[in-house]
């Protein structure tokens, strides 16, 4: 599944590259186990939600290539889940790191 996502999903590749930078950074900047877990965990959660979104999109595309409102809705909801997870990650990183480094 990971190899397929890497090969076929540009957004997943971009988020993996983000993870390659932010996971070590989170481990370095986090003070204590809980902060490190939150910083790294939110980035991993972004990858998980992106994989699920890609799976939904693949199934929708497999069922039919014609435009259908429910297909569009399924894809839009999956994309919204990724957006909310990215916002969650940004909020956690900001709430943890800004007080430490300002």
Residue 50 catalytic?
A: yes
The number of residues making up the chain comes to 102
Active-site option among 14, 15, 35, 50: 50
Distance CA 28, CA 101 (A): 13
Candidates 7, 3, 14, 26; CA nearest to 93 is 26
Active site residues per annotation: 50
């Amino acid at each position: 599944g990971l190899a397929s996502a890497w090969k076929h999903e540009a957004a997943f590749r971009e988020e993996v590259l983000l993870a390659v930078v932010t996971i070590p950074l989170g481990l370095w900047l986090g003070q204590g186990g809980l902060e490190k877990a939150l910083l790294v965990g939110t980035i991993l959660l972004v990858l998980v939600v992106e994989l699920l979104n890609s799976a939904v999109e693949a199934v929708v595309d497999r069922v039919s290539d014609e435009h259908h409102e429910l297909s569009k809705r399924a894809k839009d909801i999956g994309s919204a889940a990724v957006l909310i997870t990215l916002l969650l990650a940004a909020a956690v990183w900001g709430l943890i790191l800004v007080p430490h480094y300002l």
